[in-house]
Amino acid sequence: MESANTVIVPQETELGMLASSIQEWRRINDEIREFQDQIKERKTKTKALDQIILTIMKKHNIGALDLKATGGRVLTKKSKKQSGLNKKALQEYLSKFFKSEEKATEAMKFINESREVTEVERLAYERPV
């Protein structure tokens, strides 16, 4: 005997729901891809404008500009950014630290084996060839 809370979905309805869900999923993913392309284009334009504005402000020794229209300010700021840490760079730094390629390799092996691995399931769509 089945519980009163159990909902039985007929297989045909379930398959129909699957088809419509896949169509909507593909449509939304296509929209996201379009938005990402638009964002990428805008970021490229912004980066070019940043360089133009920075160049002009540096040339004229302008540290900040007050914007009358918005009441805001445009400032030039400096910050430091560290380079990325990939396997090759980490191996190099460990070799310098330990003054031994062997100890560095051992440390790299320990780090790689100690890193947590998680498995993630996701959907992917392959376009027909």
pLDDT tens for 40-61 read 999 999 999 999 999 999 999 9
Instruction: Using pLDDT thresholds of 50, 70 and 90, give the confidence band for residue 11.
Output: confident
29-54 burial, b at 16+ Cβ within 10 Å, e below that, comes to eeeeeeeeeeeeeeeeeeeeeeeeee
**pLDDT score, position 128:** 81
Whether residue 115 is predicted with pLDDT greater than 70 in this model: the reply is: yes
Domain definitions of the chain by residue range: 9-75, 83-115
Instruction: Using pLDDT thresholds of 50, 70 and 90, give the confidence band for residue 124.
Output: confident
Whether residue 76 is predicted with pLDDT greater than 80 in this model: the reply is: yes
User: Is the CB of residue 55 less than 8 Å from the CB of residue 72?
Assistant: no
Average pLDDT rounded to a whole number, residues 107-116: 91
